C-alpha cells in the first residue's frame, strides 16, 4: 500500500472513529512522510546493542553531572514528586536525562508526520495509528496545533518524551493547570512522569531493575534438583525416569518461544526463513527480514531425543545419551541464533549456552565411559 492510499484509508477510518471534519481538514496537510522516521525506526540502538554497551553509550560522566545539577536546580519539583507520588527523584531525573538529555534534545520533527510515516509502513500500524488519533485529540482540545506539536522521529514529545496517547492518559500539571510538557519549565513533564510510573504499578521502596540471568537450561536443572529432593528419590534415578518427558516439556517451551518470536535465529535467505509479526522481538531486531526458526530446530531435536530415550534407550543410558546429543545439537544451533546471546570471554566468541553445552557433552562422555567400563566388568 502506498502512503497516499494509506492516508486516504486512515482519514476515512478516523472520521468513523468520531474525529470531526474540521480537525481532519486541519491535520491532513501534516499527514506526510518523514524520511528520518522511517530510517531511524530500522536503526534503534536499544535493539542492536547489548545492555552493557547501551549503558556505556548513554550514561556518561557528563550526563551524570548534568543530572546532579538538574536535581539541585529543580529541587522544589522533585520534592513535590516524592511527597505526592512517592517516586524516587533520582528515577525521574534519570528518565529525563535519558529521554531528552535534560530537555536539551526534545526533537523538532512534526509529530503527526512522524506517526503517519510509521503507521503507513505497516510494521506497527495499529500502535502508531492509535497514537495518531491521540494526536488528533490533542489538536481537538486546543492544547497544541499540528505545527506546534514537535517531537522525536517516533512521535514522542517534551522533556520526558511522552507519546500522544500517554499525554492524554497520564499527563498532569504541577500547578493545577493544563499539562504543558513542551514548556521550557520541565515541572509538568516531570510530575507527569511520576504519575505515569504510579499508574503503571510503581511501589515506593521496592527494588527494581536488578540484573538477573536464568537461562532455561540452568533453571530447569535447578528444578530437577529440587524435585528429586522433594520426592526423596536419588537424582540419577529421577533423571533416568523423567528425561523423555523433560524433553517433551522443553520442546513445548520452544514452541512457545516460536509463537512469541523470541529466541530467534539470524536473518536467512533460505526457504527455512520465517518472517515474524511486527511487534515480535525478532522483527524489532531484524526488521522484516526472514530469520532462522531456531526455536523449531531445537524443538525438533528435543522431540526426537525424547522419543529415542523413551522407546529405544534403556533407562540406565538415558542420562549420558541426553547430555551428549542435546549438548551437541544445542552447541551448533547457537551459531544460527540471531538474538543477543551475550558472551563469555574464556573462549570467545562462544555464547554462555555454548559453554554449558560443552559441559553437557563432557559430562555425558564421562558417564558413557563409566557405563562402558562397568559393562565390561
User: What pLDDT does residue 177 have?
Assistant: 86
State the average pLDDT over residues 18-38: 91
Residue 253 scores a pLDDT above 60: yes
Domain extents in the chain: 3-199, 216-376
Are residues 96 and 160 in contact, defined by beta-carbon separation less than 8 angstroms? yes
Mark 32-60 as b/e (b = at least 16 C-beta within 10 Å).
ebbeebeebbeeeeebeeeeeeeeeeeee
DSSP 73-115: HTHHHHHHHHHHH---HHHHHHHHHHHHTTTT----EEHHHHH
pTM of the complete model: 0.60
pLDDT in tens, 159-217: 999 999 999 999 999 988 899 999 999 999 999 999 999 999 898 887 766 655 555 55
Give dist(CA 300, CA 283) in Å, integer.
23
User: What pLDDT does residue 211 have?
Assistant: 54
Q: Which of 111, 118, 119 is nearest to 144 (CA)?
A: 111
The residue ranking higher by pLDDT, 21 or 56, is: 21
Q: How confident is the model at residue 5 (pLDDT cuts 50, 70, 90)?
A: very high
Amino acid at each position: 500500500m502506498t502512503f497516499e492510499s494509506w492516508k486516504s484509508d486512515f482519514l476515512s477510518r478516523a472520521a468513523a472513529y468520531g474525529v470531526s471534519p474540521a480537525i481532519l481538514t486541519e491535520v491532513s496537510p501534516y499527514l506526510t512522510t518523514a524520511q528520518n522516521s522511517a530510517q531511524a525506526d530500522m536503526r534503534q540502538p536499544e535493539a542492536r546493542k547489548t545492555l552493557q554497551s547501551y549503558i556505556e553509550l548513554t550514561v556518561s560522566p557528563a550526563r551524570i553531572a548534568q543530572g546532579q545539577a538538574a536535581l539541585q536546580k529543580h529541587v522544589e519539583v522533585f520534592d513535590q514528586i516524592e511527597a505526592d507520588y512517592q517516586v524516587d527523584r533520582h528515577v525521574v531525573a534519570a528518565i529525563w536525562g535519558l529521554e531528552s538529555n535534560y530537555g536539551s534534545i526534545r526533537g523538532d520533527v512534526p509529530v503527526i508526520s512522524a506517526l503517519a510515516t510509521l503507521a503507513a509502513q505497516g510494521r506497527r500500524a495499529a500502535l502508531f495509528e492509535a497514537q495518531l488519533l491521540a494526536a488528533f485529540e490533542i489538536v481537538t482540545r486546543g492544547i497544541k496545533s499540528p505545527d506546534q506539536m514537535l517531537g522525536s522521529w517516533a512521535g514522542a514529545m517534551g522533556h520526558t518524551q511522552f507519546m500522544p496517547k500517554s499525554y492524554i492518559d497520564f499527563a498532569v500539571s504541577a500547578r493545577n493547570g493544563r499539562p504543558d510538557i513542551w514548556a521550557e519549565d520541565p515541572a509538568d513533564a516531570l510530575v507527569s512522569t511520576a504519575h505515569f510510573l504510579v499508574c503503571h504499578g510503581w511501589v515506593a521502596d521496592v527494588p527494581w531493575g536488578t540484573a538477573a540471568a536464568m537461562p532455561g537450561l540452568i533453571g530447569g536443572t535447578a528444578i530437577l534438583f529440587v524435585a528429586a529432593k522433594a520426592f526423596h528419590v536419588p537424582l540419577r534415578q529421577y533423571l533416568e525416569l523423567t528425561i523423555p518427558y523433560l524433553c517433551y516439556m522443553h520442546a513445548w517451551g520452544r514452541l512457545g518461544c516460536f509463537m512469541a518470536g523470541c529466541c530467534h535465529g539470524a536473518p536467512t535467505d533460505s526457504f527455512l526463513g520465517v518472517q515474524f509479526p511486527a511487534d515480535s522481538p525478532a522483527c524489532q531486531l531484524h526488521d522484516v527480514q526472514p530469520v532462522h526458526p531456531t526455536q523449531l530446530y531445537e524443538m525438533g531435536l528435543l522431540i526426537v531425543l525424547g522419543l529415542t530415550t523413551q522407546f529405544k534407550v534403556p533407562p540406565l543410558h538415558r542420562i549420558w545419551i541426553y547430555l551428549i546429543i542435546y549438548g551437541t545439537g544445542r552447541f551448533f544451533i547457537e551459531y544460527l541464533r540471531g538474538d543477543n546471546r551475550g558472551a563469555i570471554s574464556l573462549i570467545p566468541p562462544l555464547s554462555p549456552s555454548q559453554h554449558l553445552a560443552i559441559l553437557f557433552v563432557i559430562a555425558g562422555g564421562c558417564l558413557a565411559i563409566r557405563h562402558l567400563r562397568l559393562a565390561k566388568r
